Structure 1
Amino acid sequence: MSPSSALSPQARDEALATMQGLSGQPELDVLVVGGGVVGVGTALDAVTRGLNTGLLEQRDLASGTSSRSSKLIHGGLRYLEMLDFGLVREALQERGLLLTRIAPHLVRPVPFLYPLTHRGWERPYVGAGLALYDGMAMLGKTEMGLPRHRHLFRRQVARIAPDFKTEAISGAIKYYDCQVDDARLVMTIARTAAAHGAHVATRVRVTGFLREGERVVGVRAIDLETQRELEVRARVVINAAGVWTDEIQEMVGGRGSLHVQASKGIHLVVPRDRIRSEAGFIVRTEKSVLFVIPWGRHWIIGTTDTPWSLDKAHPAASRADIDYVLGHLNAILREPLDHEDVEGVYAGLRPLLSGESEPTSRISREHTVVTPVPGLVMIAGGKLTTYRVMGKDAVDAAAHSLKTTVNLTTRDSITDRVPLVGAADWETRTNQRVLLARRSGLHVARIDHLLGRYGGLVDEVLALVTERRSLALPLEGAEDYLAAEVVYAVTHEGARHLDDLLTRRTRISIETFDRGVAAAPGAAALMAAELGWDEARTADEVDHYLRRVEAERRSQRQATDQEADEARVSVSDIV
């Protein structure tokens, strides 16, 4: 029987038993540490090459950097100005693969306006850059999948974006990139890896390495759900811990040549009706660029780029950060926005390979793979768009180790040809959207919402609705989502806590003005029925979530990073 893609509670138990050698299965070839986009991408690459693969994540899938990005799949237009042509070309090729082959159900085109504020030289200068950008995309292995850029004059900009100040511009250039729900991408890659036989377990913290002489032969870890200590042996361990890379290096005595600097980026979420525009914007600031990105019935606005040396699990946005983003946004809008217009705020940390004295906005997003000791591969740097290449490079390094130590020959990467789960039947189900609506009793708009989140896996969600009609109801307090989506998140998507559900499996925590407070009791009750929580445990989950929201709100009123961090860390993880 082929493995299932479902990341159910039972699948977690089975994965842990297998990784510990309790089920009679052979020792792992590769163990990946870290459940962000690079970790799950590495696990998928390894398992599809025929390697026996496991993955451990100390919190939830995408709980760090990979759920807190700008949610763009893009080439990185600003890296052209840095003359980083190789990075841009590679990212554009990956953009095309994701849009047309790997994840067409999750990745979608998004239009942007690049305003022109200088007469004369700027239009040909920016136009040449965007022509190069489009040209690089068209020279990739797959079709570009997006319209080419076009020049607009001021009057055309005013029609497309009535709320944009056009007095100070001579026009704009409209171009296209792509976007994705980053946390959903990570979870879907993990499910795809599981579907091909990878063993995936979250809420397991690695505490040290198993050694035979100099060689790393596995890890010691603790199951945070049961507090049980365990050992997992593997021929090669690949560390993909992002901003925690330095801590992992300390576990091997500080050996390793990667120096990762955390850079904080914050984003604001505001309702779509606050800014009238058919396209997003990209605006240069004195430090970086500001993106105003369409996001369903919302806008995502960001980002900042500042060094961060405080709590890595829960980076905090200060009032100064929020004021900075609002200030730059209001400089281009006819009707300014203030704090009352902000639905959600989130902060994430980019794991940048640090130069000793460079500002974080200038440090490259390229990645590096090293093998500090035999049996251990470490990868850091990179960006969301190029996760697949990073995974390939990490497994290439692991394959070299396997060849030299146990004479195991590994096949080449095939992940450029492996669609993620949900991609296969997505177009068919999209064509059948009206039929699906009739059969399920749901509105066509609701079917469209489900198709955009699950692709061809929509059948599994609709099966829940058919079996239990109460799950066809909207989730109270967050009516964009169905009750069925909460249950499905537990049974198929690895959600183990209320925080997992409200912040990552859905984006309720940033898409509602109350940050998901009203939705928390109903969602917890649905999860309790699937996870066997009693009333006390269910109340604890709700109480923890409410305290987490209040800590975030308090941190966002503080003037400095230090004060914001102190406010945020007052509520730690529930485990």
Structure 2
Amino acid sequence: MNRDNNRKRLLEESFDICIIGAGASGAGAALDAELRGYRVALIDRGDIAGETSSRSTKLIHGGVRYLEQAIKKLDLAQLKQVRHGLAERRTVVRNAPHLAHPLALLTPVFSWFEGMYMSVGLTLYAFFAGQDRFPKGRWLTKPEALDKMPTLTPRMHSAVLYYDGQFNDARYALALAHSADEAGAVVVNYLAVTGFERDGSQLKAALVQDQLTGESFAIRAKVFLNCTGPYADGIRLMANPNLDHRIRPSKGVHIVLPRETLQSDCAMLIPKTADGRVVFAIPFGDNVFVGTTDDDYSDLRHEPLLEPAEVDYLLDTLRPYLAKTPDKSQVQAGFGGIRPLIESSRANTKTLLRDHEVEYDAESGLLSLLGGKWTTYRLMAQDAIDRVGERLANPVKGSTETHYLVGGETYRFEDWQTLQQRFSLPTDVCQHLMQTYGDRAERVANLLTAHPDLRERITENQPYIKAEVIYQVRQEMAVTVRDVLARRWRLELSDWELTAQVTPLVADLMAAELGWSDQYRTKQVATYQALLSSFMMKAGLVSEPTVATGL
């Protein structure tokens, strides 16, 4: 993906569809539309998956909570959502096997009855999943559970094991956008919609401003599709000020702890909390992500941040399930996202369904894809592009169910050994490259042929190497240091202090590749390190900037 070339095409061409928002649903819709033969533009005011789509729990699932509520309340809408999710998780894993895989989850229980209740529920969960090649769960004895996760509390009676999927959300969205780009779509990040041109009341062009250069121009298209998630009402009202609000944003946060918290490759599901939520503790690389919360959120102008009360709540939620609860000083980072829940009469955000809707505004002609969740992104995109085909009077059947994403088609994890033989890279680096870039890993390593110094690690105890930064700039449209450290790598999610330490080196590599001035490079470093410092202080993890990291 080349931003300059794509941006030039936006100025010179007109499109069948302009998709606003390059998160899961927008990137998924762009790929779907391009594969149907439509001319597609995909834009985002920030980076690809720069908001909600990079801040999920990293699970691909039908929704255990939804199944329980569906059965208790005989709620067919929630049951339908579970079935959709379970059907789609197979496709999510199949189409990008380097980025998604099955994950074992343990649910500790404290009585025979509780274990039986959970076992019956998870048996139903497996039944609705059908023959999807995910391993089958079972009820574990206490010794079996402790063998799989030694840090569990000895007070438990037993544990129930089941399987869902895990994935790298930001890179999955990037793979969707990259795949759409390679199919012919014009993908450009950091373009903010500021208004619309009209033919009568109908939209005919989106007015956009380049967030990197300040330049403004128009993108002409026959149909505009709003895929901006929790920010959808902003675009809807820009197109038609008379519309009612439809989105009720909900904030969810995670804390990040050392992997030793669980000492396991299994995740943990905490099925009930004091306020009726479900919380997960999930291994991800060298860390454990614990979350999430679920609270109304109204300040859409600012990024949702981890706060001290949320840190305490998640640590307190862990306490009954572990032999030793981690201390607040062990929290290395955190992240927050905003769910795009569709407004309804339900009492609170915890009871709102996360199913989706494709809304058509006859006054302006705008289509908006509302609600939904990561697991069902492909169905959401398919429904939206079906509606686009109707508006274009050119319906074409979608084909994304069996379409491999960039990096996935010939991926085999064991090929890391071939990579090691050819390029003499350390084992952890080769495995990281395979799991991050899939069958494109060799393209990253090929950069070492002309520039052997690019084999150097960014930091001693992590597998990231300098060549990746160059590849991400050239092939993955990374244009800021945060694009690299937060999304193409996930370092910002796992360790704020370490991220601050490596920021200058990453900025140096990007500056050389992108031709940044010394002043611009210095600004990139200072701005990002200040942001990381604000995260730490807002979460109550430090009371003042940390000298050791240069913050």
RMSD: 1.9
Percent identity of paired positions between Structure 1 and Structure 2: 32
Whether 2:361 is the aligned partner of 1:368: answer no
- Which of 463, 470, 475 is the matching residue for 1:480? 463
Instruction: State the 1:58 CA deviation.
Output: 0.2
Structure 2 Cα separation of the partners of residues 540 and 355 of structure 1: 44
Question: Which of structure 1's runs of 4+ aligned residues deviate more than 3 A?
Answer: 255-258
Structure 1 Cα separation of the partners of residues 101 and 510 of structure 2: 30
Whether 2:34 is the aligned partner of 1:51: answer no
Moved more, 502-511 or 37-46: 502-511
Structure 1 Cα separation of the partners of residues 341 and 326 of structure 2: 32
Structure 1 Cα separation of the partners of residues 79 and 389 of structure 2: 28
Structure 2 Cα separation of the partners of residues 531 and 125 of structure 1: 57
Whether 2:400 is the aligned partner of 1:386: answer no
- Which of 281, 290, 295 is the matching residue for 1:306? 295
Instruction: State the 1:508 CA deviation.
Output: 1.3
Aligned residue for 1:514, secondary structure, equals helix
Match of 1:15 in 2: 6
TM-score normalised to structure 2 length: 0.94
Would the alpha carbon gap of residues 508 and 379 (structure 1) be closer, same or farther in structure 2, given more than 3 Å must change? Answer: same
Matches within 5 A, 1:62-77: 62-77=49-64
- Which of 392, 413, 419 is the matching residue for 2:398? 413
* Deviation per residue, 1:120-158 (Å, 9 max, x gap): 3x33322222112112222xxxx5132101111112112
Structure 1 Cα separation of the partners of residues 242 and 367 of structure 2: 12
Instruction: State the 1:278 CA deviation.
Output: 4.0
- Which of 375, 378, 397 is the matching residue for 2:387? 397
Aligned residue for 2:92, secondary structure, equals helix
Instruction: State the 1:398 CA deviation.
Output: 1.0
Is this contact kept in 2: 1:43–1:53, CA < 8 A?
A: yes
Structure 1 Cα separation of the partners of residues 361 and 36 of structure 2: 24
Match of 1:28 in 2: 15
Is this contact kept in 1: 2:231–2:300, CA < 8 A?
A: no
- Which of 463, 468, 489 is the matching residue for 1:506? 489
Structure 1 Cα separation of the partners of residues 213 and 449 of structure 2: 35
- Which of 156, 161, 175 is the matching residue for 1:188? 175
Whether 2:235 is the aligned partner of 1:248: answer yes
Match of 2:98 in 1: 105
- Which of 220, 232, 236 is the matching residue for 2:219? 232
Structure 1 Cα separation of the partners of residues 6 and 523 of structure 2: 27
Aligned residue for 2:282, secondary structure, equals strand
Match of 1:437 in 2: 420
Structure 2 Cα separation of the partners of residues 394 and 488 of structure 1: 32
Q: In structure 2, give the amino acid aligned to 1:493.
A: E
Instruction: State the 1:511 CA deviation.
Output: 2.1
- Which of 462, 477, 497 is the matching residue for 1:494? 477
Aligned residue for 1:518, secondary structure, equals helix
Would the alpha carbon gap of residues 351 and 477 (structure 1) be closer, same or farther in structure 2, given more than 3 Å must change? Answer: farther
* Deviation per residue, 1:8-49 (Å, 9 max, x gap): xxx2222222222x2xx4x20010000111110011111000
Is this contact kept in 1: 2:333–2:536, CA < 8 A?
A: no
Is this contact kept in 2: 1:219–1:231, CA < 8 A?
A: yes
Match of 2:143 in 1: 155
Whether 2:80 is the aligned partner of 1:86: answer yes
Match of 2:547 in 1: none
Would the alpha carbon gap of residues 93 and 357 (structure 1) be closer, same or farther in structure 2, given more than 3 Å must change? Answer: closer
Structure 1 Cα separation of the partners of residues 526 and 422 of structure 2: 38
- Which of 102, 111, 114 is the matching residue for 1:118? 111
Q: Which runs of 5+ in 2 are unaligned?
A: 71-77, 545-551
- Which of 17, 25, 29 is the matching residue for 1:42? 29
Q: How many residues align?
A: 535
Match of 1:3 in 2: none
Match of 1:131 in 2: 123
Matches within 5 A, 1:279-298: 279-283=266-270, 284-286=272-274, 287-298=276-287
* Deviation per residue, 1:80-113 (Å, 9 max, x gap): 012111111111111011222x111110111111
Is this contact kept in 1: 2:346–2:352, CA < 8 A?
A: no
Instruction: State the 1:356 CA deviation.
Output: 3.9
Aligned residue for 2:102, secondary structure, equals strand
* Deviation per residue, 1:503-538 (Å, 9 max, x gap): 111111122351511101111000111110121111
* Deviation per residue, 1:225-281 (Å, 9 max, x gap): 111110011000000011111111221233445610111111011111233234211
Q: Which runs of 5+ in 1 are unaligned?
A: 1-6, 404-408, 568-575
Match of 2:501 in 1: 518
* Deviation per residue, 1:296-350 (Å, 9 max, x gap): 2211111100111114441121100111001111221111211211111111111
- Which of 269, 291, 313 is the matching residue for 1:324? 313
Is this contact kept in 2: 1:64–1:313, CA < 8 A?
A: no
Match of 2:407 in 1: 422
Match of 2:74 in 1: none
Match of 1:571 in 2: none
Is this contact kept in 2: 1:256–1:370, CA < 8 A?
A: no
Match of 2:154 in 1: 166
Structure 2 Cα separation of the partners of residues 319 and 510 of structure 1: 17
Aligned residue for 1:222, secondary structure, equals strand
Aligned residue for 2:99, secondary structure, equals coil
Is this contact kept in 1: 2:23–2:48, CA < 8 A?
A: yes
Structure 2 Cα separation of the partners of residues 79 and 110 of structure 1: 19
Is this contact kept in 1: 2:49–2:174, CA < 8 A?
A: yes
Whether 2:333 is the aligned partner of 1:344: answer yes
Is this contact kept in 2: 1:31–1:238, CA < 8 A?
A: yes
Is this contact kept in 1: 2:329–2:541, CA < 8 A?
A: no
Is this contact kept in 2: 1:255–1:372, CA < 8 A?
A: no
Instruction: State the 1:499 CA deviation.
Output: 1.3
TM-score normalised to structure 1 length: 0.90
Aligned residue for 1:144, secondary structure, equals coil
Q: In structure 2, give the amino acid aligned to 1:289.
A: V
